[in-house]
Structure 1
């Protein structure tokens, strides 16, 4: 590989994204850069102590160690928690009261790595809350008046205990298939499930920690990566299947028939459980979750609040409204009692707890929350995104009975359907989500919008 300068401003602008740092190892991210980011992180946040975790990617331990050296060199004490899921790092940040840094590229392929950073209490750091200031501070090596200490601790047991205190699983015995995708759920799932004892029969899939992802990509939002789990659930006659992404902060469900459960449906279920615990509470949902979420929350006496896509917006709105729970259609679920952070494992425990408390199969339990037909997210490569959005708005604003808003991209709503089109933050893509009162309505709206989006392709 030719010599690279990861500190080049063009590279820094490329890898500092809206919510995290992410790029390919060697040419975009390396240990010297991680060391600089550690110093810059301490300089910008003023954190006296930083907790650092990492996933199972081959490059992660070295990058985490380099970040720790930079943070200590800037004067902060560093607490290393070693191998961890992202929600385990958030737990450590909240439980210990320290700022945090997690080395992971989540669901990205093996060549990638990255950093998710937070303030004490798992408060997010994104483009609008300090991340770009950290980027700009990387250019200058930060040297503190003293060198901080670097120590190690293990929070896995405390993490598992805390999750089970929030969503205990009691009732009938469940047969559960878990596909860890060779990601960090291979570490966290055993710690959680062993505490459930005979309440659950766990069937493991791809629990070996392997950042090369030898079986399939650890990205459960792609249907192809769920096929193995669906087949295993059917073969084992299991009650439920759980699929986690690489850093285990997202979870997707498969029911006993091998069918995928929409994250919007799981959002509605968890909202109902949280509202039973705290009647009248506020529930956050992003604007591409199913309309059924808003309906369920309102029917149960809660207050639904709609927000933009993205964890920093969800967390900020949760803080403003003291919401008890928030859900995104991408499989992220946020809990007030988990420092408003997202946890795929906690979402899974809620689903298991609801299932164990009834004799009904998961498909039947979830059916009451499935009220509309959804397209799922459809991506289209579009160079002039603004022009296409303007065309869509011009054509649809004349339609009868529609309302238009720009909370995040373009949303057009009708009594019987809605669609949202928004631009990607990092790629020349437009993302379409559509929903209708029935499949035929959804398909008509979906196809009409796609015809405009893809008219020049």
Structure 2
């Protein structure tokens, strides 16, 4: 994959500097992603790069830092890709799971995209994006796909789109990021034993404050820009809580409230 990536970047006229260009897992048995991004940020500023990227070993996920070495959150990366596509006159269906905040789908709508909600699992997102002929599918966790290319998440395709978007802009990456809306999302986790997951989902789905958002593999509380989602993690015995609000304080407060609700229900 690395040789192919180098050839693609060369054809795009990109002068790249490879750092740790080996298939080492991110955050599992190796350097945590925060450490990698901090190190990458120092290198980016030292060499004067336009931005830096970390690609996961599976080729699915991508993390970015701007030219000042500051990490760019995953939701903003989605917005940057959409912004770049729109600058090239491209829009259409956007497949995103219900875990992605309404603030991002609202921004996508303003750009001319049509957000389509999917379940949180990648298989459903891929199926829906293919059936709806989505231009982009994004899970909100550093993985984007472009179904016209192929249905699965593709970090290198994402990188190419980001490079194309930057080539069309006279602004630095950090300035472009600052011009985008703030997509505030507070995260919490609640430990839940594997054998308790099904029972907890039944309890949460019967909660009087639950919002009905159709056939999803999680639970939603609230609506609009004061909304929290709860979803069981696929790989670990935890339930993830993600809350959006009118600013970081409101999002954190709602996340704490729902975290307490889930923890109490899990006992």
TM-score normalised by length of structure 2: 0.84
Aligned residue number for residue 380 of structure 1: 190
Shift of 1:280: 5.4
SS at 2:15's partner residue? strand
Distance 1:394 1:273, change over 3 A: same
1:352–1:343 distance in 2 versus 1, CA, 3 Å: same
Does the 8 Å CA contact 2:75/2:183 hold for their aligned counterparts?
no
Task: Find the counterpart in structure 1 of residue 4 from structure 2.
Answer: 188
SS of residue matched to 2:17: strand
Larger deviation, residues 274-283 vs 302-311:
274-283
Note closer, same or farther for the CA distance 1:216–1:441 as it changes in structure 2 (3 Å cut): closer
Matches within 5 A, 1:102-141: none
SS for the counterpart of 1:336 is: coil
**Higher RCO (C-alpha 8 Å, min separation 6):** 2
2:19 is the alignment partner of 1:205: yes
- After superposition, the C-alpha distances for 1:116-164 in whole angstroms (9 at most, x for unaligned) are xxxxxxxxxxxxxxxxxxxxxxxxxxxxxxxxxxxxxxxxxxxxxxxxx
Residue 444 in structure 1 maps to residue 253 in structure 2: yes
Quote how far apart the aligned CAs of 1:278 are.
5.4
Would the alpha carbon gap of residues 221 and 442 (structure 1) be closer, same or farther in structure 2, given more than 3 Å must change?
A: farther
Q: Is structure 2 residue 77 aligned with structure 1 residue 266?
A: yes
Please give the per-residue CA displacement for 1:40-59, whole angstroms capped at 9, x wherever unaligned.
Answer: xxxxxxxxxxxxxxxxxxxx
Number of residue pairs matched? 263
Shift in alpha-carbon separation, 1:449–1:220, aligned structure 2, 3 A: farther
Unaligned runs of 5+ in 1: 1-84, 86-185
Which of 208, 211, 231 is residue 403 of structure 1 equivalent to? 211
Question: SS at the partner of 2:53?
Answer: strand
316, 320, 328: which one pairs with 2:131? 320
- Contact 2:102-2:225 at 8 Å conserved across structures: no
Q: Give CA-to-partner distance per residue, 1:362-396, whole Å, 9 cap, x none.
A: 122123433331124x433212234444555566x
For residues 218 and 248 of structure 1, do their structure 2 counterparts lie closer, same or farther at Cα, with a shift above 3 Å needed? farther
1:414 paired with 2:214, answer: no
Mapped to 2, the partners of 1:426 and 1:250 lie a distance apart of: 16
Q: Normalising to structure 1: TM-score of the pair? A: 0.52
Query: Mapping of 1:121-270 within 5 angstroms?
Result: 186-197=2-13, 200-207=14-21, 209=22, 213=24, 217=28, 222-270=33-81
User: SS of the counterpart of 2:18?
Assistant: strand
After TM superposition, give the deviation of residue 445 of structure 1 in Å. 0.7
Q: Does the CA-based 8 Å contact 1:327-1:333 persist in structure 2?
A: yes
1:340 corresponds to 2:151: yes
C-alpha separation in 2, matches of 1:446 and 1:239 = 35
Bigger radius of gyration among the two? 1
Q: How does 1:23-38 map to 2 (within 5 A)?
A: none
Q: Output the CA distance in 2 between the equivalents of 1:217 and 1:202.
A: 26
